[in-house]
Amino acid sequence: MTTSTSPLLSARGVRIVFPGRHGAPDARAVDGVHLDIRPGEIVALVGESGCGKTTLARALLGLVEPTAGRITFDGRPLEYSGRSLKAYRKRVQLVLQDPSGSLNPRHTVYDAVAEGLRIHGHGGDERAVVADALSRAGLRPPERFFLRRPHELSGGQRQRVVIAGALVLEPELLVADEPVASLDASVRGEILALLLRLRAELGLSALVVTHDLGLAWNIADRVAVMYLGRIVETGPVEQVLTAPRHPYTRALLSVLPEAPGEPVVLTGEPPDPSRVPSGCRFHARCQVLAGGGADRAGVAEACRGRDPEILDGGGATQVACHWAHAGKG
Amino acid sequence: MSLLDVRGLTVTYAGGTAAVRGVDLRLEAGRKLGIAGESGCGKSTLALALLRLLPAGTRVGGEVLLDGEDVLAMKWGRLRAVRWAGASIVFQGAMHSLNPVRRVGDQIAEPVLLHRRATPAGARKRTGELLEQVGLPAARAAAYPHELSGGQRQRVMIAMALACDPRLIIADEPTTALDVMVQAQILRLIERLVADQDVGLIMISHDLAVLAGTCDRLAVMYAGRVVEEGPAGDVYEAARHPYARALSAALPRIGDPASRFAPRGLPGDPPDPAALPSGCTFRPRCPVALDSCAEEEPLLGDAGADRRVACVRVTAENPTAGGPAPRPDTAAGGADPRHGTAAGGTDPPPNTATEEPNPHQATTTDDSDPRHGAATAAPDPRRSTTAGEPNPHRTPTTDEPSPRHGTAAGGTAPRRGTAAGGPGAPEETRPSTP
């Protein structure tokens, strides 16, 4: 989309380290990430469980203070005092994965949506604002939903209530963590269409955290593939998902049921952030290195010994892979 | 004889919610059948009903023939022998199905000790073999569930299901909540085990793409019934029933420009099993519904080679569905031939011979939203019974034998009236045609 405008939200060199307990090594959950989100842009942050994507999203919301690095919003660095965080969270809203867990079962829909307004001391016509947010989220007529409680709603309707609660403060950015993972396939498309419509109507930016590459294809402008605390490939969705260069992205795409060709099923478990391998962090599971491709390209030494540089987070297609840089990817 | 032959299976929870309303399935050894559908469509209830794992008070009708023997008519002792050894279930959510305070090795050994009457040493040996079969080192037997990752726990669940060499494995959402890469690992494992051991597999999932990639045949369920059934690839690539089409279209195909910035869903929500709409249960959400769809619920009818669809538009198009043409049994087994007859019996509307699902009913009627009709025609919503599914892994010994109801009604395909019927019409009181 807009490649020239300055980013709305920007992460620079963000590292988040959780201290190890009982003498265990520290967990480097996020290990050096640059990421920009521009106004009106939808970015998908994709990766397996444990790759640090949720930790990064929490840091972008100001819920975790990075160990190192900086997060800026609208040009100003994020401050971690209670007052400035409160102001920040009016502009950046979170949508969580499981709508049943993020709604208070004893609150009515009206209360759930109005909660943000009350916290932020909204002075105007609360009822009208809540009704507006509900109808924007596709719950029409809104009055019919005011007094319902979560258990009376379907999963898709609950997620719409959560989204309405996020919209009510007129944020500029939504951070959605697996927004449709707990929903049925038929409902999933409706919620994703809603996110796209909100972008079109309100110019809302969004960071969508997901393990679902199909979701990225459905709604995102740009995708960032994360592996073990680092973004390993990023760029426009069309390029990254149809012509992936990083062996990890290729493997992820190859195991989708729809994918052509032989699936590359990586062996082993998702790796442990407290034991990040030296060299390229993916080298121990890399099918290209194991298959001799890196040797033939003359980069096997680098794969085992040298950490690829951190990608700069901008809109261009980039890949953190010695083999891809050697012109083979 | 088929490994599994399900005939006219109905499940009604205490409180009157009809979760499964007449399902016929057949599965041969070494074959894989996928059952797809949204939450609440009855697919998990179906899985539990196959082994009579439903809570007491649930009425189950029809027949479940496992190697020719009706599971629903078995004596309690025989049923206990058949569970695990005849058929076993891999449940969804491995974290909740494993006992958190017992080592996984002991949990795998439990069915071996009980059903095989193995010695403790023999059970330990078997446990080690099973773990290696599912790709875990035998030493992991000493681990507690929390020490394992999600994928490893799912492997333990599969090892447990294999413990007594069952003939049939039922896998209920075996890969939901797993990452794509781990999901691919587990699916490969399941495929390999089915091929090596010549067992039958029933895999239940909401993900049509996963099922199409793994299974030979697919059955799509909606509101307690199978609405489309056929070879997996055909159903996924070219579904005929409007619901199956929507379900298939809702899955994004990466690289397909048509789905770029165009997520597709299906408006509306699945019907409440306690208050089903009249006629075709999919009608309120159906983009191509006809007026006549409100009157009678279509039954599965022939729709081309080896396929069956429960939609008047499809069966009306298909010339073979016109007459009562019970099909001979097919390789992987299809639905009961009775369905062919039943579909022939319903008169197709005279003006539905068009090729395309052209919504020409719009010209014949300016009747407004069909949803209204559904809302008023539906029986008064009784409180939806929760009938929480028990955790059968911890309860197989305490699970009481559910009294067998509706045996006599097993021969009749339940009609619409029954399914949506009022509380005063319990199934076993209806006249039966054996």
Residue type, B243: Y
Question: How many domains would you assign to chain B?
Answer: 1
Average pLDDT for chain B: 76
Cβ contact (<8 Å) for B250 and A154? Answer: no
Residues of A with Cβ-Cβ distance to B184 under 8 angstroms: 255, 263, 265
Nearest CA among A114, A113, A88, A119 for reference residue A99: A113
Residue A313, phi then psi, degrees to nearest 5: 85, -5
Three-state DSSP class for residue B112: helix
Can you give the pLDDT at residue B45? 92
Say yes or no: A98 contacts chain B, CB-CB below 8 A: no
Mutation choice for A interface testing from B155, B179, B204 by most A CBs within 10 A: B179
Residue B252, phi then psi, degrees to nearest 5: -70, 140
pLDDT greater than 80 at residue B12: yes
Cβ contact (<8 Å) for B255 and A186? Answer: no
Residue B339 inside a domain? The answer is no
Question: Which residue in chain B has the smallest CA separation from A178?
Answer: B177
Q: How many residues does chain A have?
A: 329
In B105-124, which positions are buried (b, 16+ CB within 10 angstroms) versus exposed (e)?
A: bebbbbbbbbbbebeeeebb
Can you give the pLDDT at residue B352? 37
- How far apart, in Å, are the Cα atoms of A195 and each of A141, A207, B145, B250? 19, 11, 38, 16
- How far apart, in Å, are the Cα atoms of B354 and each of A20, B162, B240, B348, B380? 68, 50, 14, 12, 36
Q: How confident is the model at residue B423 (pLDDT cuts 50, 70, 90)?
A: very low
Take residue A291 and report the two structure tokens written for it. Answer: 């298959």
Residue B433 inside a domain? The answer is no
Mutation choice for B interface testing from A51, A98, A144, A184 by most B CBs within 10 A: A184
Cβ contact (<8 Å) for B251 and A214? Answer: yes
ipTM of predicted complex: 0.85
What residues of chain A, 264 to 293, have a C-beta less than 8 Å from chain B?
265-267, 269-270
Specify whether the CB–CB gap between B74 and B68 falls below 8 A: no
Cβ contact (<8 Å) for A266 and B181? Answer: yes
Residue B86, phi then psi, degrees to nearest 5: -90, -45
Residue B246 inside a domain? The answer is yes
Can you give the pLDDT at residue B319? 52
Can you give the pLDDT at residue B318? 63
Q: What is chain A's alpha carbon radius of gyration, rounded to the nearest angstrom?
A: 21
The CATH number of A9-104+156-226 is 3.40.50.300
Mutation choice for B interface testing from A144, A187, A208, A210 by most B CBs within 10 A: A187
Can you give the pLDDT at residue B342? 36
**CATH, residue B197:** 3.40.50.300
The nearest CA of chain B is from the CA of A50 a distance in Å of 10
Residue B366 inside a domain? The answer is no
Contacts of A74 (CB under 8 A, 6+ apart): A8, A9, A91, A172
Q: How confident is the model at residue B16 (pLDDT cuts 50, 70, 90)?
A: confident
DSSP B22: E
The domain in which residue B158 lies consists of 2-317
**Cα A85–Cα A89–Cα A93 angle in degrees, nearest 5:** 155
**Which residue in the set A154, A188, A189 is minimally distant from B269, CB to CB?**
A154
Residue B350 inside a domain? The answer is no
Calpha distance B344→A30 (Å, rounded): 62
The nearest CA of chain B is from the CA of A329 a distance in Å of 19
- Sequential pLDDT tens for chain A (329 residues): 444 578 999 999 999 999 988 888 899 999 999 999 999 999 999 998 889 999 999 999 999 999 999 999 999 999 999 999 999 999 999 998 777 788 999 999 999 999 999 999 888 899 999 999 999 998 989 999 999 999 988 888 899 999 999 999 999 999 999 898 878 888 888 899 999 999 999 999 999 999 889 999 999 999 999 999 999 999 999 999 999 999 999 999 999 887 888 889 887 766 788 889 999 999 999 999 999 999 999 999 999 999 999 998 888 899 999 999 987 65
Calpha distance A225→A299 (Å, rounded): 22
Cβ contact (<8 Å) for B149 and A269? Answer: yes
Specify whether the CB–CB gap between B162 and B190 falls below 8 A: no
Question: Which residue in chain B has the smallest CA separation from A49?
Answer: B179
Mean pLDDT of B72-95: 88
Specify whether the CB–CB gap between A145 and A114 falls below 8 A: no
Q: What dihedral angle (degrees, nearest 10) is formed by the CA atoms of B331, B336, B337, B340?
A: -110
Q: How confident is the model at residue B116 (pLDDT cuts 50, 70, 90)?
A: confident
Question: Cis omega (within 30 of 0) on the bond before A141?
Answer: yes
Residues of B with Cβ-Cβ distance to A267 under 8 angstroms: 185
Can you give the pLDDT at residue B431? 39
Order of strands across the sheet that contains B18-27: B18-27, B4-12, B59-66, B69-70
Can you give the pLDDT at residue A143? 92
- Inter-chain Cβ pairs, chain A and chain B, closer than 8 A: 118
Cβ contact (<8 Å) for B179 and A219? Answer: no
- Express each pLDDT in B350-407 by its tens digit: 343 333 444 343 333 333 333 443 333 333 333 333 333 444 444 333 344 444 443 3
Q: How confident is the model at residue B432 (pLDDT cuts 50, 70, 90)?
A: very low
Nearest CA among A270, A237, A242 for reference residue A256: A242
Say yes or no: B77 contacts chain A, CB-CB below 8 A: no
Q: What are the residues facing A77 on neighbouring strands?
A: A72
Q: How confident is the model at residue B303 (pLDDT cuts 50, 70, 90)?
A: confident
Residue A325, phi then psi, degrees to nearest 5: -70, -25
Residue B11 inside a domain? The answer is yes
- Express each pLDDT in B35-45 by its tens digit: 999 888 999 89
Calpha distance A220→B61 (Å, rounded): 48
Domain boundaries, chain A: 9-104+156-226, 242-325
Say yes or no: B190 contacts chain A, CB-CB below 8 A: no
Residue B208 inside a domain? The answer is yes
**Which residue in the set B151, B253, B267 is minimally distant from A269, CB to CB?**
B151
Q: How confident is the model at residue B328 (pLDDT cuts 50, 70, 90)?
A: very low
Residues of B with Cβ-Cβ distance to A257 under 8 angstroms: 209-210, 212-213
Cβ contact (<8 Å) for B247 and A192? Answer: no
